[in-house]
Amino acid sequence: MALREVVTTDAGRMATLAFLEALFDGAGAEELAVRLWDGSQWRPRNARGEPRVTLVLNHPGTLRNMFSAPSDLVLGEAYIYDDCDVEGDIECLFRVIDGLFARGFSVGEKLRYAALLSGLPKSSAPRGERQARLNGALHSRTRDRSAVRFHYDLSNDFYRLWLDRRMVYSCAWFGSERDTLDQAQENKLEYICRKLRLRKGERLLDIGCGWGALIVHAAKRYGARALGITLSGQQAELANQRIHEEGVEDRCRAEVRDYRDLEGETFDKIVSIGMVEHVGEKMLGEYFRRAWAAVCAGGVFLNHGIAQVFHKPNRGESFVQRYVFPDSELVPFSSMTTAAEDAGWEVRDVENLREHYVMTLRHWVRRLERQAAAARKLADEVTYRIYRLYMAGAAHRFRTGQLSVHQTLLVKPDAGESHLPLSRADWYG
């Protein structure tokens, strides 16, 4: 019996090595190493120097599980549920995978891979229950609240481990590569307020205010009267605690409120940073109409959001939608501007900050990795892996231009007048 197990294991190892050799041949995998469950290691023939990233196959059946029907969801689940580990630069692994799937496979190659795959060992991979399970109509108020709380109510202490000291959970603005994350996030808050041209006493609405960093900055530095709204109870609680600590309760507050529940209040300026991704493509019109109705004539709206560069067909639930941001939808930037203009907004300025998001995400990944033990303790192993994987993948997609992030300054004309200066010079003063 023992001899049969050894033979089977050795046969499985040889089949795995043959599959790796065929799969990664010419796929730009020279920075990759693969370590098998028995400790042996494979590297491509064109490998040079030490590997930047090592994929660790924890079970003989890992590759068969990953590549029988490969998708970002299947590959992601293999990592978060411990079929495999990733050592080293996890972002590098996405470059290798992109290179793999960018290849054009002939019919003969596909048949060869299928034959090699069928010879790999089988195993049933355990799966956990970390994915989102939402009920109700898509983008109803109740379901949107559940989707937001699935992600943002995870644990304030967990996010505090790897975000900057203000806990700004969106793209920072780097004056140079030497800026710390704290400095870059302060730069971003200041840059937004300058784009809005905030003045003392003006009423500011922050849709999706997170843990309150922007409204506190606007109230403290600019004397604005700021309201932040979020669907996360934990975010609102911590935001109001910080508002109290900063001594700006008289002109700043955070509330748990849906953007669709803003009737009866008007503001001079509106800002939304990283919230539009949760709205849903079919709801973009209502989102921009609600903002339009909430701002006075001549008011401005700074909308900051991620867009995908082209419209991908819906091929089922993605890893991010199942495990990170349920019900989130990334649309082309043109879809957002069209919805904004249909609601009456005039587009006055657009800035793409995707390089800044690459740097931001890399800071987050490194900080999370350094705090891995604490993250596992505050959440669990699966959650740590989910966040490491999704942020590294996002960094790769921003770096390669698959994703972009835009700050769009919109104005509600006042009898045709924008009341905006002729130059942007004051943004950089």
Integer CA distances (angstroms), 322 to 77, 82, 311, 395, in order: 10, 17, 20, 19
Give the CATH number of the domain where residue 344 resides: 3.40.50.150
Residue 129 has pLDDT above 80, yes or no: no
Residue 26 has pLDDT above 70, yes or no: no
242, 246, 250, 255: CA torsion to nearest 10:
-10
Give the CATH number of the domain where residue 59 resides: 3.30.1050
pLDDT in tens, 314-337: 667 899 999 999 999 999 999 999
Q: Please tell me the total count of domains within the chain.
A: 2
Pair 99, 184 in one domain? no
User: What is the spatial distance between Cα 231 and Cα 254, in angstroms, rounded to a whole number?
Assistant: 10
Pair 176, 298 in one domain? yes
Mean pLDDT over 264-281 rounds to 96
Q: Would 294 be classed as within a structural domain?
A: yes
Residue 305: left if φ>0, alpha if ψ -120 to 50, beta else—which one?
Answer: beta
The helix/strand/coil state of 10 is helix
Q: Would 361 be classed as within a structural domain?
A: yes
Cβ partners under 8 Å of residue 347, min gap 6: 337, 340, 341, 408, 409, 410
- The residue segments making up the domain with residue 276 are 141-428
Pair 233, 372 in one domain? yes
Q: Which among 274, 291, 293, 288 has a CA at the least distance from the CA of 394? A: 274
pLDDT computed for residue 358 by the predictor: 98
Pair 303, 181 in one domain? yes
Q: Would you say 300 and 253 are in contact if contact means Cβ atoms under 8 Å apart?
A: no
Count of Cβ atoms closer than 10 Å to residue 4 Cβ: 8
Pair 109, 148 in one domain? no
Pair 111, 152 in one domain? no
Query: Where do runs of H (alpha helix) occur along 257-324?
Result: 284-294, 319-323
% of residues, the chain, pLDDT over 70: 94
Q: Would 135 be classed as within a structural domain?
A: no
Q: Would 105 be classed as within a structural domain?
A: yes
Mean pLDDT over 43-66 rounds to 91
Alpha-carbon 87 to chain mean position: 21
CA atoms within 13 A on the CB side of 222: 25
- Of 261-265, 296-300, 408-412, the one with minimum mean pLDDT is 261-265
3-state secondary structure 167-193: CCCCCCCCCCCCCCHHHHHHHHHHHHH
Residue 114 has pLDDT above 60, yes or no: yes
Residue 4 has pLDDT above 70, yes or no: no
Q: Would 133 be classed as within a structural domain?
A: no
pLDDT computed for residue 100 by the predictor: 85
Q: Would you say 296 and 307 are in contact if contact means Cβ atoms under 8 Å apart?
A: no
Task: Transcribe 35-98 into DSSP letters.
Answer: E-TTS-EE--TT--SS-SEEEEE-STTHHHHHHSS--HHHHHHHHHTTSEEEEE-HHHHHHHHH
Residue 63 has pLDDT above 50, yes or no: yes
Q: Would 397 be classed as within a structural domain?
A: yes
Pair 264, 346 in one domain? yes
Which is more confidently placed, 290 or 10?
Answer: 290
pLDDT category, 132, cuts 50, 70, 90? Answer: confident
Last residue of a domain, one of 85, 118, 151: 118
Q: Per the structure block, which two tokens stand in for 58? A: 């924890």
pLDDT computed for residue 337 by the predictor: 97
Average pLDDT value over all residues in the chain: 92
pLDDT computed for residue 25 by the predictor: 74
Q: Would 127 be classed as within a structural domain?
A: no
pLDDT in tens, 207-248: 999 999 999 999 999 999 999 999 999 999 999 999 999 999
Alpha-carbon 33 to chain mean position: 27
Pair 274, 192 in one domain? yes
pLDDT in tens, 355-402: 999 999 999 999 999 999 999 999 999 999 999 999 999 999 999 999
Pair 281, 375 in one domain? yes
Pair 65, 146 in one domain? no
Last residue of a domain, one of 118, 150, 184: 118
Pair 148, 190 in one domain? yes
Q: Would 132 be classed as within a structural domain?
A: no
Cβ partners under 8 Å of residue 396, min gap 6: 91, 94, 95, 98
Pair 165, 294 in one domain? yes
